[in-house]
Amino acid sequence: MIGVFSFLLYYKVESKGKDGEFMKTNHLNVVIAGGGSTYTPGIVQAMISSRERFPFSSLTLYDIDEARNDDMFEIIRYMLKKEALSNEVDLYQTTDAQEAFTGADFIFSQLRVGGMKMRELDEKIPMKYGLVGQETCGLGGFSYGLRSIKGLLEIVSYVDHYASDAWLLNYTNPETLVSEAVRRAFPDVKMLNACDMTISIEETIATNYGYDRKNWIPMYYGLNHFGWYTSIYDKSVDRDVLPEILERLENERLHVADFNAGDDTWQEAWDMMRLMTKNFPGYLPNNYLEYYLYPNRTVEHTDPNYTRANIVMDGREKQTKEMARKVREQEKGEILDFNFGEHGNYIMDMAASILNDNHDRFMLIVPNKGAIPNLRDDAMVEVPAYVGRTGAEPISLRFAINDFHKGLMEAQNAAEKLLVDAYFEHSYQKALQAFTLNQTVYSADPAKQILDDFIKANGDYWPELN
């Protein structure tokens, strides 16, 4: 049964979709693919706070992990009840793709194919050979990437079949790899690929140094988790504040923001950012570049037996399971305990900008096509883009990037393209080339050993490589 809004809404029609139907602008049906994720409450809270500009009346949690999805269903139902929305928003959970995606208007994708147990292997297998163990960077990121490509292409195929006019907003990592694969397999899908890391960087700096990030117009370029800020124009003072931010970074330590509180690895990340700006001045780097510029340091400071995956499993995963238990047992007091910063708001802002044709500005992963003029056109790059009813409109940098950044990006981009080739061609040789070329790898010997280990560990999660 469809719930009824307690305030008047009108039905407005705008541009037509691929099937000739006009785009709905209210009574929206939203699907969260990967609904059992611990990040789902942050997205739903942002949706609840945004109903005037994004009027949804149906929310479906889709996940192949029925137990996790059921836990999240209980938490979200509790959230809707707490906000007095139980009679206005229909909430569903399902493991059936046809049931989930038929009639959807917006899909938010946040898959973790293989779950946290596979993430643990992504991080620990490279470390056996003295290489970086990280979920989205290095060879662990490539392992995760081949799983994610397979999982996300399946989701896109469902959307293409059951809801071809729906917008798919993707948070699934590693973003450059999955967006490259989708570009090849489904070039006409209505999809935005976004990462919240740049927003987390900006939010952390603004909180530490007393800025309001909403006044910022940042200029940034790179690959996903592999880029640099060149300026941050602040409308409130009518100038670029990046030089003073870099100066303050040199003299003042960045502290972990409240949305990452309790996780010491983030303090290490911000300290490494200070080192990068000291040794390579003039730009503010994405903090993930530490894995490529200083792989030796990250390996030295990482416990090979207790990685980030273990921290998350012992922290956020258990905390979410406990919240679900408290909801089921109807415990009294404050049950919900989560803070994901701008993660949920960012994807919600993108959806609202599409729906209302706002042309708000976001950092998106898009085909280069001249945005970075001296980089190959078919690279999937992360640059600012304006988002409206017709999708993303990336900006052009209007300047050639320097040789240091270009060289790093070209090598990493080539490795990523080789890995996507390996997926579609089932090519062991292309996979080995990709692993060897990855910017965290010093030799083809460990690249091959780690690739062979990952083939065994991933099993059917990966395509067969011949």
Closest CA to 354 of 167, 195, 165, 109: 167
Closest CA to 13 of 152, 135, 165, 192: 165
Which listed residue (70, 196, 234, 349) is catalytic? 196
Burial class (CB in 10 A: 0-12, 13-18, 19+), 20: exposed
Q: Which neighbouring-strand residues pair with 239?
A: 234
- Is 137 marked as a binding-site residue? no
Which listed residue (158, 171, 220, 288) is catalytic? 288
Residue 418: CB atoms within 10 A of its CB come to 21
The length of the chain is: 466
Q: What's phi and psi for 222, nearest 5 deg? A: 155, -165
- Is 301 marked as a binding-site residue? no
Q: Residue-wise over 54-78: b if at least 16 C-beta within 10 A, else e?
A: bbbbbbbbbbbbeebbbbbbbbbeb
**352 with 54: CB under 8 angstroms?**
yes
Q: Which neighbouring-strand residues pair with 220?
A: 229
196 catalytic? Reply is yes
* Cα-only R_g, the chain: 22
Closest CA to 1 of 83, 114, 88: 88
Q: How far is CA 419 from CA 173, 283, 427, 446, 464, in A?
A: 14, 29, 9, 17, 13
Alpha-carbon distance of 409 to 415, in angstroms, equals 10
Which tokens sit at 247? 């100066």
Q: Which neighbouring-strand residues pair with 361?
A: 386
**167 with 190: CB under 8 angstroms?**
yes
State which amino acid sits at residue 274. R
- Is 193 marked as a binding-site residue? no
288 catalytic? Reply is yes
- Is 173 marked as a binding-site residue? yes
Residue 79: CB partners within 8 Å, gap ≥ 6? 41, 44, 45, 48, 336
- Is 325 marked as a binding-site residue? no
Indicate the annotated binding residues for Mn(2+): 195, 225
Indicate the annotated binding residues: 119, 173, 195, 225, 308
Indicate the annotated binding residues for substrate: 119, 173, 308
**Catalytic sites, residue numbers:** 196, 288
